[in-house]
Each structure stands twice: as structure tokens, then as C-alpha cells.
Amino acid sequence: MSQDRPNNHPEPKVGVYVCHCGGNISDQVDVEQVARQAAGLPGVTAARHYSFMCSDPGQQMILEDLTSGRVDRVVVASCAPALHETTFREVLRRAGLNPYLYEHANIREQVSWVHHGPGATAKATALVAAATAKARELAPLMPIRVAATRHATVIGGGVAGLTAALDLAARGVEVALVETTPFLGGNLALLDRTFPTNEAAADLLTGLARRVLAQERISLYTCARLTGFSGYVGDFHLSLSQAPPRDDETLERLARFGEPGPECQPFRGVLPVAPPNAERRIELNTGAVVLATGFRHYQPPEGEYGYRQSSRVLTLPEFIALMAAIPAGQPLAFEGSPVASLALVHCVGSRQIPGIHEPPPGRELNQHCSRVCCTASLQAAGEARERFPETTIYELYRDIRSYGRGHEDYYLKASRSGVVFARFNPEDPPRVEADDSGDNPLKVTVKDTILAGEELELGVDLVVLAVGMEPGPVAELTQLMKLPQGADGFLQEVHPKLRPVELASGGLFLAGTCQAPMDVGEAASAAAAAAVKAAGLVTRGQVELEPFVATVDLARCDGCGDCVAACLREGALTLIETAAGQKARVEPALCLGCGVCVAACPAEAIQVAGWSLPQFRAMVQAIAQSGAEQGGQA
């Protein structure tokens, strides 16, 4: 690497380019002086300044110096490298040079935006000196290329998983679709009609399942659990363990199905294939993994709004199933008695507030808005009023967030159908009590915010809780695959806008409600996006990775293993036997480039390419020297 520059290697010729960034930099930093100082540094053969280095003329200026042979490596002093590092590396590539012969000095965010006066120029001068010193030590680097298997694995057989699997297969990718239960359809199977089209959930799922079963490129593994995960982007190794279902609930649900097939049974899902009779282990080699593990409905603890204290307190999914089971034309009844009135409570298990809500033992509060429950409640209330006009419906809410296309129509429809709304403050939530005195078995007391905080007492026969969405039970998976989770427990993307369906680890993608509460359409959109990203990766045949990974100097390595012990990424560093004894070996595709091993190595036998110790030493020396010179001038 760079520290081993052969003696016959010509002296590097560094070009230094100082950007004004309009006045963003030059208003605070004397850019001319910075360039002048740079011109006097060892190895510098060109030092220029310009109003916008990133502009076409700015890039052209660098390109001309490179093509004329005046310089063979470049330092640009401008904004943060996140903005334009790749821009200037591209200039080197255009000039036919290795793009890693480039060093960036950030004199905007780290200088002109935070320092004013002569100190700003001094710091900029020092940073440019450091970058120049490092640039002299740079060596050409090659991106790491790893072969990508033209195969993707989708974990989760709900609407997002089905969609992602179909979209991947349509792009010619072999897909393994892995589902822990014997069923397809996930939470969508537990719904009746979906907004905003009122399509039956079962019809949607039957359509998807039919296509999945007909798609030859999709291999379906139901009753399958991920038990092993290793490898890296383009070349993951997955172990699946398939087992016959044993829990009573699943067996009971299974008993309701006849022959397996794509037909979705309302509120039960699809039984696509017969569950396995025996345990089986499956090994998969896959290029990308799409996580579509879904969500789980918030389960209110006993006593929250009377839940489980009264059988007449239901969750919204339970109420939807109750309504669906009532034959057309019949009145709404619960356990044989008519329901004259009911109260629907919003934000149950969502938008919880520290100090007001109590987290369940060992759990965090759900501070997020679950987004879909408002429209789902409005849809259910409107449908109930339409089908059961004799039933009075109260809808108790904090805010109505009917945000999506067509969602507001459900709000208006519910209003016009005579649903009586009451808005409450979270610090005064509705109270649900048994009531033996009145006509109704339950009494709900709510402080109405419009009526100057006056309390309303509602006699009701049912209370329906619009439960929110929580992260699914994926603790085992997150442990195994080392998946990042947000503070809300949902899996977390790299960047919410720029890389919304990718995880920080290459080759892992997010589809649907494992990432955040979404409605069906949004989950399908996310799944389609994840499928495109994953397909783009595995169909190229190989993956290119940044070359900034650890490298071992075998001559110096004595195989002590300190680096392996310090390494943060499992599998990135291993000890191997060589003819010269035990040595450390780096798996470049797994290495994070963090440099922990460099610090741990007692023999200075391991370096991170592009960030080697000699490079750091040169930078430190340059900064110290620059400081001494400027101190002397002052």
C-alpha cells in the first residue's frame, strides 16, 4: 500500500484547488492566501482558487491540470465531502487516473460556517496542509468486487412479502419466500375491506397468492424459521428450519382449511401448500434479503379501557370480524344481545406520552402514530352506521389523521352517517366502567374538549379500541441478522428520503410495516421499491464496494489474533494457517473499515486502505507544522 511507495516511484505532483463557494467560504476565509500557502507546500505543483470548484469550469480547471501532466493527484478544499467528494473523484476518472488519488479538505462546514476572522484562514490553511500531506502518501486503490448470486430471499408472506417476491421474480430473479406460519396473507388476511377502494382483503390476497403459486421462480417455504445467517452482500448464506406446526391456535386455524391452494379464506388467510410433516433444514445461497416481517397489533394490557375486564371491550380487528360475521340485514349483536350503542376509542397503543401512559413491563411506550387506525376506525364506523342504523356510534378521538388519498371521504361519510364524534385530550382519556344501573352494561365517561371540558357519560353496549401497530416479533431475527432498529422498535432504513428501503448493511432491504406503520397500499409501494433495489443488485452479477477496508501485511503479522478479538463485524477478520504460520485474513466484503483492528495490532501489521497510519502521521505533522508557522507569524 501507500506506505510502501517504491523508491523509483516518481515524486507525487499534488494539485490544490480552493473553492470560494460563492461567498460561503471566501467571506470568512482568505482563499487567495490559503492557495498561496498551499503553493509552497512540498509536492504541490499547482494551487488555484475559484468561485465554484464544483461547477463545470471549476472541474475543467482540475481536468486540464491532470491531462497536461502538471498534477497527478488532487486536493479540493471546499464543502463537506458528503456533497462533492464523488464529483471530484469522477474528474480524476475522466482524466484516466485512479479516482482514489484524491483528498478532500472541508473548509466550509468545518471552517467558514463556524469560524470568523483570521483564525478561519489559519485553520483552512492547516486543513489544506494536512490534506496535501496525505495526498502525497495516497496510492491507487481498486474497488472491491464481489460476485452476486442471482437469487433473493423474501422473509415474510404478507402483502409486502408477496408483492416483493412477485416483483423480483418478474425481473428474472430466483426467489425464496420464507414464512413462519403455514399461511400467506399476514395481517391483511385479518381485515375485511381495504381502504380507499373497499376491495375485500381476501380477494386481494387470493389474486396475489395465485400469482405467487404460479410463478416458477418463487420457491415457497412455509412453517420456516431463519436459524442461520452469514455471508455478505451478493453472497449470503441462510439456514432455514422447517417444522410441522404445533401450537393450538395454528392447528385450529389449519383445521378450517381443506385442500391447499391460493384461495384466501376471510380472516384466516391462504394455505398455499400443505405444512411439512417432518422437520427439515434448508440451506440457501442468496444475493439479497428483503425483510417483510410486518407488524403486530398492539395488545392492550388488562384494564386499559376495560380490556379483558369486560368481554364487551374489543379491539378494532375483533370488531371488524364481528361485523363481518353478521348476516346481511341482521342487526348488530354481541353474544346474542343487540348492540344499541358503542364507543370507538382512537389512539389505543399509539401516540403514547411519557408521564401519561405506562409502558408494559419490559417494553417501551409506542410514541409513534400508527397512521392507519384513524381511517380504519372511520371506515368501520361508517360501515356500521350504514348496516346497523339502529346502533348509535360514538367515536372518541384525539385528532383525526385521515391523511391519504380518499381517506377524508371516510371521515365525511362517517360524519354524515350520524357518528357522534367527541375529541378528548390525552391527559383526560375516556374512562370505561361496568354500569349496572343503566340500560347499557358499560359506561364511558369522556371530557369533551369543545364543551369547555364538560364530561359526557355515554351508556354503551360495546367499546371498540382502535389499536395501533407495533413492531412485529422479530427479536430473534434482528439478533441473528444484526438489523438496526429505530427508537420505536421498527427496523430502520439508512436514510428516510435518500435510501428509504435499504438497511445500512449492504444487500438487506425493507418492505412494508416492519419499517413503520403503513397502510396496504404504502406497504405494497415499499415492497415494490425494495424489489427493484434488490433486483438491481443481484442481476448485475457483481457488487462494487468501497476499497476502504483493512489489509494485512503478512510479513509483519505474527498471528496473535488481537485484531480478530477486537473486530466489530463477525466474519470480517479470521485467523488462517499459512505456510508461514498463523496469519490474520480480512474478508473485504464484510469489513466495515472502522480501524479498530489497526489500534489493536501490536505489530502495525494491519492498515485500513486509504486511511493508513503513515497517512495519518503525515497529516498530523502537517497540521503541527502549519500551526507552528502561523503561530510564528502572529
Partner 1 sequence: MGQTPFIEVNQAIVESGGVDLNACMQCGLCAAVCPWREVAGEFLPRLMIRQGQLGLEGYESDDVLFGCTTCNKCVINCPREVDIIGVMRAMRSLVVESGGAPETLKAVLGSCHANGNPWSEPREKRMAWSEGLEVPAFTPDKEHLLFVCCTSCYEQRSQKIARSLVELLNRAGVSYGVLGPEQNCCGESVRKIGDEALFQKLAKANLEMFQAHGVKKIITTSPHCLQTFSRDYPALGGEYQVIHSSQLLAELAAAGRLPLSASDGRKVAYHDPCYLGRHGGVFDPPRAAISACGVQVVELEREKEFSLCCGGGGGRVWMETPPEQRFSLLRVQEAAAAGAQVLATACPYCVSLLEDSRKTAGLEDLRIMEISELLAENLG
Binding site for partner 1 (CB under 8 A): 341, 392, 394, 400, 411-412, 415-421, 423, 445, 448, 450-451, 454-459
Q: How far is it, in rounded angstroms, from Cα 629 to Cα 634?
A: 9
- The answer to whether the Cα torsion of 298, 304, 305, 310 is positive or negative is positive
Residues facing 431 on adjacent strands = 445
The torsion of the CA quartet 127, 133, 137, 143, rounded to 10 degrees, works out to: 20
The minimum distance between CB 480 and partner 1, in angstroms, equals 48
The minimum distance between CB 457 and partner 1, in angstroms, equals 4
DSSP string computed for 339-381: --EEEEEEEETSS--BTTBPPPTT-----S--SSHHHHHHHHH
Q: How far is it, in rounded angstroms, from Cα 233 to Cα 546?
A: 13
Closer of 255 and 450 to partner 1 (Cβ):
450
The minimum distance between CB 204 and partner 1, in angstroms, equals 30
The minimum distance between CB 418 and partner 1, in angstroms, equals 5
Closer of 435 and 587 to partner 1 (Cβ):
435
Decide: 77 and 20 in contact? Cβ < 8 Å.
no
Q: How far is it, in rounded angstroms, from Cα 118 to Cα 54?
A: 25
Let me know if 4 is exposed, middle or buried by CB neighbors in 10 A (0-12, 13-18, 19+). Answer: exposed
Closer of 310 and 415 to partner 1 (Cβ):
415
Closer of 352 and 440 to partner 1 (Cβ):
440
The minimum distance between CB 415 and partner 1, in angstroms, equals 5
Q: How far is it, in rounded angstroms, from Cα 615 to Cα 617?
A: 5
The minimum distance between CB 403 and partner 1, in angstroms, equals 15
Q: How far is it, in rounded angstroms, from Cα 442 to Cα 312?
A: 8
Please state, in angstroms and as integers, the Cα–Cα distance from residue 90 to each residue in 85, 132, 144, 330, following that order.
Answer: 9, 19, 17, 71
The minimum distance between CB 450 and partner 1, in angstroms, equals 5
Decide: 309 and 301 in contact? Cβ < 8 Å.
no
The minimum distance between CB 377 and partner 1, in angstroms, equals 14
Query: Residue for cell digits 398492539?
Result: 298
Closer of 455 and 476 to partner 1 (Cβ):
455
Angle subtended at Cα 498 by Cα 22 and Cα 161, rounded to the nearest 5 degrees? 175
Decide: 426 and 351 in contact? Cβ < 8 Å.
yes
Closer of 325 and 451 to partner 1 (Cβ):
451
SS3 label, residue 503: coil
Closer of 431 and 482 to partner 1 (Cβ):
431
Closer of 456 and 613 to partner 1 (Cβ):
456
The minimum distance between CB 440 and partner 1, in angstroms, equals 11
Amino acid of residue 484:
P
The minimum distance between CB 455 and partner 1, in angstroms, equals 3
Residues facing 106 on adjacent strands = 78
The minimum distance between CB 438 and partner 1, in angstroms, equals 9
Closer of 218 and 419 to partner 1 (Cβ):
419
Q: How far is it, in rounded angstroms, from Cα 289 to Cα 538?
A: 10
Q: How far is it, in rounded angstroms, from Cα 523 to Cα 521?
A: 5
Closer of 55 and 425 to partner 1 (Cβ):
425
Contacts of 211-214 with C-beta under 8 Å, sequence gap 24+, read 211/166, 212/162, 212/165, 212/166, 212/177, 212/184, 212/262, 212/272, 213/261, 213/262, 213/272
The minimum distance between CB 407 and partner 1, in angstroms, equals 14
Closer of 183 and 397 to partner 1 (Cβ):
397
Decide: 105 and 44 in contact? Cβ < 8 Å.
no
The minimum distance between CB 335 and partner 1, in angstroms, equals 23
Closer of 323 and 456 to partner 1 (Cβ):
456
Decide: 510 and 526 in contact? Cβ < 8 Å.
yes
DSSP string computed for 380-401: HHHHHHHH-TTSEEEEEES---
Closer of 28 and 440 to partner 1 (Cβ):
440
Closer of 265 and 402 to partner 1 (Cβ):
402
Please state, in angstroms and as integers, the Cα–Cα distance from residue 453 to each residue in 63, 424, 445, following that order.
Answer: 71, 9, 12
Longest dimension (CA), the chain: 100
Decide: 347 and 398 in contact? Cβ < 8 Å.
yes
The minimum distance between CB 344 and partner 1, in angstroms, equals 15
